[in-house]
């Protein structure tokens, strides 16, 4: 029952009212996300990618672009490409026929953004939740500017907002609003909740994006398993799928002399990384998740954007897409 009440189709609920202005590295706002629109023109999600872009395959782009709509079946003309001949119809009628297709005017894009409590952490510049929100907003603006439909799924520990892809400024604003509200709901004194499984979100993605979508997932991919692998595999077979893996340098290079107290709001425990066994287990946990996701890239051909909280969002997005030179 509580899960049903938490699912809100057009937003994720209002954050607590009042309070002073927060640090933009800790929380983002709708105004801040809107302000990224002019920076978004520096990146591209079109099939033609720079040679050094992680979205560019060895021989061809990993982004297939817009799909094709069947237009008509007609007699073969001398200038037609023989690869368009419909051999079944040709055999049945005794005369060559070709199938004519036209490119879709746009394609739907679904941007999935993780705003669970596991994302509310950062040790250098931004919280992981802020980096994910900024990169998602940059992608949404650029894809909308390219003429494609934009929608998304924004999810927290028990909230989920779905915005179906549409080529309208209203749909884009609805997505950014859901994103900013979910981000503002993250706070250190939040009551402990069982986080929403990523697999449940990916099931929703599969329902909304059956085929020929561009799907971008921005998350730290906490709590993944073999079911996650199966869902990612299924999505990548019928769509263009890009994974934005958000991490923090603290997890990549865990200090060996750290004593920290962690709490879920009710219970607390002290972690001492000076203990070699504890340090090794924590490092193995972080590196194991990274290795697993990079293995998806190798096995499934799914491009991974390794995003870090230690860099500004537009700078690393440009770098990962093989762009250099002065920013506009």
Confidence of residue 67 (pLDDT cuts 50, 70, 90): low
The pLDDT value given to residue 139: 96
32 and 87 within one domain:
no
- Domain presence at residue 81: yes
Confidence of residue 17 (pLDDT cuts 50, 70, 90): very low
304 and 255 within one domain:
yes
Range of the domain at 22: 2-58+106-320
Confidence of residue 258 (pLDDT cuts 50, 70, 90): low
The pLDDT value given to residue 169: 94
178 and 147 within one domain:
yes
Name residue, tokens 């994974």.
Answer: 243
CATH code of residue 204 = 3.40.50.410
Rounded Cα gap, residues 163 and 174, in angstroms: 7
Which of 129, 247, 144 is closest to 181 using CA atoms?
Answer: 129
Mean pLDDT of 209-234: 93
220 and 78 within one domain:
no
Name 253's Cβ contacts closer than 8 Å, sequence gap at least 6: none
The two three-digit tokens of residue 296, written as one number: 């998806």
State what percent of residues in the chain have pLDDT above 70: 73
Confidence of residue 3 (pLDDT cuts 50, 70, 90): very low
Q: What is the largest CA-CA distance in the chain?
A: 81
| Whole-number average pLDDT of the chain | 80
Residue 208 confidence (pLDDT) above 50: yes
The pLDDT value given to residue 326: 47
288 and 207 within one domain:
yes
- Domain presence at residue 327: no
Rounded Cα gap, residues 128 and 311, in angstroms: 11
Which of 156, 173, 175 is closest to 164 using CA atoms?
Answer: 175
Residue 162 confidence (pLDDT) above 90: yes
Beta bridge partners of 243: 217, 304
245 and 179 within one domain:
yes
Q: What is the DSSP letter of 20?
A: P
218 and 138 within one domain:
yes
Mean pLDDT of 276-301: 70
Residue 68 confidence (pLDDT) above 60: no
Q: Please say whether the beta carbons of 247 and 220 come within 8 A.
A: yes
The pLDDT value given to residue 203: 95
145 and 282 within one domain:
yes
The pLDDT value given to residue 239: 92
Each residue of 75-111: pLDDT tens digit? 888 878 888 889 998 999 999 998 876 555 578 999 9
The pLDDT value given to residue 257: 59
Spacing of C-alpha 206 from chain mean position: 14
- Domain presence at residue 119: yes
95 and 23 within one domain:
no
The pLDDT value given to residue 321: 86
- Domain presence at residue 326: no
Q: Which residue has the higher pLDDT, 296 or 277?
A: 296
The pLDDT value given to residue 80: 81
- Domain presence at residue 305: yes
- Domain presence at residue 178: yes
Beta bridge partners of 311: none
Residue 66 confidence (pLDDT) above 80: no
Q: Please say whether the beta carbons of 240 and 63 come within 8 A.
A: yes
Number of domains in the chain: 2
C-alpha triplet 149, 202, 188: angle, nearest 5°: 100
CA distances from 62 to 24, 40, 71, 236, 301 (A): 34, 20, 26, 11, 8
Q: Please say whether the beta carbons of 41 and 142 come within 8 A.
A: yes
Helix (H, G, I), strand (E, B) or coil at 160: strand
Q: Which residue has the higher pLDDT, 68 or 50?
A: 50
The pLDDT value given to residue 250: 77
Q: Are strands 149-155 and 108-114 parallel, antiparallel or unpaired?
A: parallel
Q: Please say whether the beta carbons of 97 and 72 come within 8 A.
A: no
Residue 273 confidence (pLDDT) above 70: no
The pLDDT value given to residue 284: 52
95 and 47 within one domain:
no
Name 68's Cβ contacts closer than 8 Å, sequence gap at least 6: 101, 102, 103, 104
- Domain presence at residue 325: no
26 and 143 within one domain:
yes
Q: Are strands 259-263 and 268-272 parallel, antiparallel or unpaired?
A: antiparallel
Most confident of 47-61, 176-190, 266-280: 176-190
Which of 328, 325, 301, 306 is closest to 317 using CA atoms?
Answer: 306
6 and 98 within one domain:
no
Residue 6 confidence (pLDDT) above 70: no
- Domain presence at residue 257: yes
């Amino acid at each position: 029952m509580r899960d049903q009440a938490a699912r809100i189709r057009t937003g994720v609920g209002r954050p607590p009212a009042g309070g002073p202005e927060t640090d933009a590295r800790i929380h983002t706002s709708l105004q801040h996300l809107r302000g990224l629109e002019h920076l978004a023109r520096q990146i591209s999600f079109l099939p033609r990618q720079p040679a050094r872009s992680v979205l560019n395959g060895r021989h061809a782009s990993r982004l297939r672009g817009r799909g094709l709509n069947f237009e008509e079946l007609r007699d073969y003309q001398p200038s037609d490409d023989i690869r368009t001949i419909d051999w079944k119809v040709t055999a049945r009628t005794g005369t060559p026929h070709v199938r004519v297709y036209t490119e879709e005017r746009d394609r739907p894009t679904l941007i999935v953004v993780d705003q669970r409590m596991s994302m509310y952490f950062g040790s250098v510049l931004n919280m992981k939740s802020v980096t994910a929100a900024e990169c998602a907003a940059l992608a949404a603006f650029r894809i909308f500017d390219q003429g494609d439909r934009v929608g998304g799924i924004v999810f927290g520990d028990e909230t989920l907002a779905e915005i179906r892809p549409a080529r309208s400024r209203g749909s884009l604003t609805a997505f950014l609003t859901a994103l900013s509200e979910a981000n503002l709901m993250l706070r250190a004194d939040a009551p402990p909740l069982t986080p929403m499984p990523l697999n449940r979100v990916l099931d929703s993605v599969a329902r909304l994006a059956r085929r020929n979508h561009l799907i971008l997932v921005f998350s730290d991919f906490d709590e993944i398993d073999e079911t996650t692998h199966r869902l990612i595999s299924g999505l990548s077979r019928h769509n263009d799928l890009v994974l934005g893996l958000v991490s923090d340098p603290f997890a990549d290079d865990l200090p060996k002399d750290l004593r920290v107290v962690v709490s879920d709001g009710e219970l607390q425990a002290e972690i001492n990384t000076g203990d070699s066994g504890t340090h090794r287990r924590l490092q193995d946990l972080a590196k194991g998740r990274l290795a697993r996701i990079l293995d998806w890239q190798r096995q499934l051909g799914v491009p991974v954007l390794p995003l870090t909280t230690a860099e500004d969002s537009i700078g690393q997005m440009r770098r990962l897409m093989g762009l250099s030179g002065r920013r506009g």
